[in-house]
Amino acid sequence: MIDEHTLKNSFRAIKADILEIQGELMNIKQEQARILVDVDIMKSVRKDKTKNVVKPRRSTYVASKEGKKFHVDTCAYAQNIKPRSKIKFKSKTTALNQGYKACNCVK
């Protein structure tokens, strides 16, 4: 037969084990909550990055009917060409084939 002292010590040991397990469960729950917050942050950052992706603008090239050079449409010289004498090209090759030379702004 088990004496009362041994029985009390067994229950104390079991109680200590239960309290330790409860503490570990609380730590796991806190870690889980932190991880979920981190995941939400990463999702929102990823969404923001995909929303703000800017596709590179395709350059169009322009020349003056009276000129000999063609320019990128954002070039200062291209900005000065009057609309009625402006010719637009979709590619460098097209402009070169029509006899125009590339301005320094054309890469």
Residue 78 and residue 98 in one domain: yes
pLDDT tens digits along 2-48: 788 898 999 999 999 999 999 899 989 999 988 988 888 888 777 66
20 plus 48 within the same structural domain = yes
Give the confidence band of 56 by pLDDT, cuts at 50, 70, 90: low
Predicted local distance difference test score (pLDDT) of residue 48: 64
Torsion of CA 11, 14, 18, 24, to 10 degrees: 150
Q: Is the domain of 7 the same as that of 44?
A: yes
**pLDDT for the residue numbered 43:** 82
Nearest alpha carbon to residue 68 among 40, 49, 96, 106: 96
In which domain, by residue range, is 91 found?
61-102
Instruction: Tell if the pTM clears 0.75, that is, is over it.
Output: no
On whether both 5 and 44 belong to a single domain, the answer is yes
| 3 and 38 in a common domain | yes
Are 30 and 71 within one domain?
Answer: no
Neighbours of 14 (CB within 10 A): 10
Say yes or no to pLDDT of 52 above 70.
no
Same domain, 15 and 42: yes
Residue 28 lies in a domain: yes
16 and 38 in a single domain? The answer is: yes
pLDDT beyond 90 at 1:
no
